[in-house]
Amino acid sequence: MRPGRQLAVLGFIFVVLYLLVFFAGASGSWKDRLEPKLGLDLIGGTRVTLEATNSVDGKPPTAENLEEAREIIESRVNAFGVAEAEVVTEGNRNIVISLPGENRNLDDVGEAAELRFRKVLKAASGSGVAEAPPAATPTPSGSAAPTGSATPSGAATPTPTGSASPKVTSSPSGGQGGMAPASPSATPTPSASASASPSAAAPTASSEPVPASVEEQRKAVEQKVGAAAWQAANGLQAPADLTADPSLAEKLKPFGTLSPQEVAVLPAQMQFNVPTIGCAQLDQRPPASISDPKQQVVSCEDGASKYLLDQAKVLGTDVSDADAVLDQTNAWVVSLDFTGDGQGKWTSLTREAFNNEGQACDATALGQDGKCRVAVVLDNEIVSSPEIQGVLTGNSQITGQFTQKDASTLAGQLRYGALPVTFEQQEAQNVTATLGASHLRAGLLAAGIGMLLVIIYAFFYYRLLGSVIFLSLILSALLVFGALVVLGRQIGFTLTLAGIAGMIVSLGVAADSFVIYFERLKDEIREGRSPRSAVPRAWIRARRTIISANAITLLSAVVLYVVSVGTVKGFAFALGLATVLDLVVVFLFRHPIMTMFARTRAFLSPRVSGLGRALPARNQPTQPRNPRAKEA
């Protein structure tokens, strides 16, 4: 045997591994390049628990839907550039997100991200405050006739703030993509809201079929606000002008005390027409409150304007891809690519909005150029409501006052699809770096004590052979450390306390392989072989046992990794990795170095080598196995 070859191969592996450690995707100082990625329990971070909810029946989601939601949430978190995130299911309702490193805001990753494109039919104030009418202040003359009361104040139906919002653009635009100048009639006046519009004659949302559970909740709300208030709200055909009818303001006042959950079960027309229902209540409605694409809904923009929105003609499933990009003005926008069918739906929707077919959009809902607006609704909120400037036949953009983070988050939500179930955040925990550092010190101390005990035992029992154990453990530790650094950069593997525990367990596996080899070596010497010839013979016999033992450990680690979740996966991965690298050291270092030791004089000394009584037994005369042969 030529042990130099195996040692050269091992040296080559070390050179390649640590070149990857210092130069493959590495940055910063030399010290920074040697730092592996650490888990949440070691360096601190954020842990969020999301609970699956259902606004209709309250039943837990199916296992398939919960797993699909977990995969989507994991993709969203990874889109932040943090592939080391851990997203696991817990029970039949919860999903737990653990993100090591700096504390992050994970409020958006659990949102359903149900995208809807809806025309804005009407607009009204979303303040939810019943302002006192000007006539309530008596004049010096005592006249009871309120001056100016015939003209409703602008507070009832202000010009939507969204009219100045960015417009939908497309590349290329359709043939009707020219921008029509705004006509005087396109400018909404305060009195426009009081007049009946074509859309006002549409059937009210109260006539739409609703689940029995929602109907029961409506009856509960009716009892809470009182029959007078409910009858007054149900009779409204347009947003009420409370400045003109103080008594109506008093009747509708109980609606301002409703919780967001109670507001969510009201008909859409009632949510829109009752002015005491404000955006503060609408924005806090439970998830999926307006997810039905076949219903008209009410939503707010910027917490100030309340919109009545048409049925959703284009859905998030019609979007094939979404990216956060900079437009010509260096503003962040979300670029949308539609599917084949989705592009046709989008073109039809923009044609309806551009031509205001059927005069569905009343004056309060029109933009500055007199065209309908299309609201981009994500879950319960309006992201933007741009005015449609033409029939759009190409890919489009969602524009708004986005930061890079906001645009990237929205693009990631749209790219990976909507969640099959809705979630509410139950717990958000920030693990401090100080606590993580104490965990890390405790883990390293435990690993150090374990290795020290193995080395002390090895030198006490095997003496010179103990140096082989010591050097093998050092080389294994260096290989494992380098592999952790490289894997952390390439696949996002993070070292946790469970991973450290797996490596400590691997020390026992490595010690077992030493015992098997050395005890087999003693047996060969006792049978009369010289140390030099006993080493390869013992290796051949011990090799199979060592491989079998490590294979069983490796198989256990693989099975545990496949069937487990959370930190147990980290334990299984670390145990499997350390076991594989231990085999590398066994074949490329332990056997070659033993061959070299067998050629030294110290190896023949019982006190130095650690072979104990095996060598003296070799120097005694061999007893014949057959008594008759001795007599002969």
Cis peptide preceding 172, ω within 30 of 0: yes
Query: Sign of dihedral through CA atoms 284, 287, 289, 294?
Result: positive
Which helix (H) or strand (E) covers residue 321, if one does?
A: strand 319-326
Q: Token digits for 41? A: 């329990």
CB 365 within 8 A of CB 120: yes
Class of domain 40-109+426-431: alpha beta
Tens of pLDDT, residue by residue over 424-458, are 777 777 777 666 677 778 877 887 887 888 888 87
Residue-level pLDDT at 561: 84
pLDDT of residue 412: 76
Dihedral angle at the C-alpha atoms of 336, 337, 341, 346, nearest 10 degrees? Answer: 30
> Average pLDDT in the 581-592 region?
85
Tokens found for residue 364: 């309060």
In angstroms, the Cα distances linking 303 to 257, 332, 401, 493 are 18, 22, 15, 42
Distance, C-alpha 107 to centroid of its chain: 10
Q: Confidence class of residue 162 from pLDDT cuts 50, 70 and 90?
A: very low
Question: Of the candidates 107, 465, 370, 155, which has an alpha carbon nearest to the alpha carbon of residue 97?
Answer: 107
pLDDT higher than 70, residue 190: no
C-alpha distances (whole Å) from 596 to each of 3, 60, 476, 591, 628 are 7, 66, 20, 9, 42
As a whole number, the mean pLDDT across the chain is: 74
How many percent of the chain have pLDDT more than 70?
Answer: 75
C-alpha span between 315 and 90 (Å, rounded): 30
Helices (H) and strands (E) in the chain, counts: 21, 14
Token pair of 418 as six digits: 């909507």
Q: Which of 622, 612, 265 is nearest to 461 (CA)?
A: 612
- Asked if 468 and 596 count as a contact pair (C-beta separation under 8 A), the reply is no
pLDDT at 242 exceeding the cut of 70? yes
| 128 token code pair | 């939810």
Residue 324 in this model has a pLDDT that exceeds 60 = yes
Q: How far apart are CA 310 and CA 202, in angstroms?
A: 11
Confidence category of residue 195, pLDDT binned at 50, 70, 90: very low
The per-residue pLDDT for 609 is: 60
Residue for token pair 């046709």: 344
Residue 202 pLDDT greater than 60, yes or no = no
Q: What is the mean pLDDT of residues 392-418?
A: 77
Q: 10 Å Cβ neighbour count for 26?
A: 17
A 10 A CB-CB count for 579 gives 25
Q: Are 238 and 231 in contact (CB under 8 A)?
A: no
Q: Which residues in 138-177 belong to E strands, given as ranges? A: 170-173
Fold of 3-37+432-619: Multidrug efflux transporter AcrB transmembrane fold (1.20.1640)
Going from the C-alpha of 423 to that of each of 93, 94, 107, 113, 297, the distances in angstroms are: 9, 9, 11, 11, 21
User: Residue 308: its pLDDT value, please?
Assistant: 92
The structure tokens listed for 506 are: 């691997």
Tens digits of residue pLDDT in 119-147? 999 998 877 664 433 333 333 333 333 33
Rounded CA gap, 612 and 516, in Å? 16
Query: How far is Cα 498 from Cα 40, in angstroms, rounded to an integer?
Result: 11
**Which of these ranges, 29-33, 353-357, 385-389, 429-433, has the smallest mean pLDDT?**
429-433
604 — pLDDT class (breaks 50, 70, 90): low
Q: Which of the pair, 137 or 601, is modelled with greater confidence?
A: 601
Check whether 284 has a pLDDT greater than 70: yes
CATH number corresponding to 115-134+153-425: 3.30.1360.200
Q: What is the pLDDT of residues 610-623, one digit of tens each?
A: 565 555 544 444 45
Is the separation of the CB atoms in 619 and 605 below 8 Å?
no
pLDDT at 331: 87
Please tell me the predicted confidence (pLDDT) of residue 588: 87
pLDDT interval class at 298 (50, 70, 90): very high
As a whole-number percent, the residues of the chain with pLDDT over 90 amount to: 3
* Every domain of the chain and the residues it spans: 3-37+432-619, 40-109+426-431, 115-134+153-425
Helix, coil or strand: residue 247: helix
Say which residue, 548 or 438, is predicted with more confidence. Answer: 548
Which pLDDT score, from 0 to 100, does residue 534 have?
Answer: 79
pLDDT of residue 511: 77
Instruction: State mean pLDDT over 348-370.
Output: 88
Instruction: Enumerate residues 6+ apart whose C-beta is below 8 A from 281.
Output: 128, 256, 258, 259, 260, 263
pLDDT digits (tens, 9 = 90+) for 64-119: 878 878 877 777 777 665 545 678 787 777 888 877 766 666 666 666 667 788 99
Which of 238-252, 256-270, 271-285 is predicted with the least confidence, judged by mean pLDDT? 238-252
Residue 152 has pLDDT above 50, yes or no: no
Q: Give the contacts of 568 (CB within 8 A, at least 6 positions apart).
A: 498, 560
**Is the pLDDT score of 203 beyond 70?**
no
Quickly tell me which residue has 């004056």 as its tokens: 363
